[in-house]
Amino acid sequence: MSVTTNIYVVLGIKLSEKVLHIGVIEPGCPHKLPAGNKFCPECGKPSEVVKNEYHPEIDWDNETFFGFNMLQGDEYSGSVYLGNIIAKLGAYDDFNDICFSVSESRRALFLKKLRSKLLPEKLWDSKAYGFWLVRVVS
Ligand SMILES: [Zn+2]
């Protein structure tokens, strides 16, 4: 087993990885319950249970969320980065050599695109938007 470390430059937003999960309400048992019952009179189970599921906008095959690149940082960071991967460095690349440029118009266009997608989902936070360096160990 080997460990690979990569550093990514991401133009985008840093969010809590909690946003990847949503609560889905499902019936607690197969019995038909009278409306308003919190528990089933037949089996005693709660009428509803909240199941924690991954957000349906996540595409695990392409590692995207809402169509944007999705990167999870170190296992314990609790963060997810959503945006556009600008550059990627391998473990043996010289960090001093990193060089990238993103034009002002491209940045403005991307900000508008990301914001318009995340704002209605209540996931937008302008303070969390910018260039991020993300270390990914796999
Ligand atoms: Zn029941």
Predicted confidence at residue 5, as pLDDT, reads 84
Predicted confidence at residue 57, as pLDDT, reads 94
Q: Which residues surround ligand 1, an ion (CB under 5 A)?
A: 29, 31, 40, 42-43
pLDDT band at 44 (very low <50, low <70, confident <90, very high): very high
> In the predicted model, what is the mean pLDDT of residues 54-72?
95
Q: SS3 sequence, 15-76?
A: EEHHHHEEEEEEECCCCCCCCCCCECCCCCCECEEEEEEECCCEECCCCEECCEEEEECCCC
> In the predicted model, what is the mean pLDDT of residues 59-73?
93
CA of 122 to the centre of ligand 1 (A): 35
CA of 33 to the centre of ligand 1 (A): 8
CA of 55 to the centre of ligand 1 (A): 28
Q: Residue ranges per domain, the chain?
A: 5-19+57-137
Model pTM? 0.78
Which conformational region is residue 31 in: left (phi greater than 0), alpha (psi within -120 to 50 degrees), or beta?
beta
> In the predicted model, what is the mean pLDDT of residues 32-44?
91
CA distance 70 to 103: 22
pLDDT band at 6 (very low <50, low <70, confident <90, very high): confident
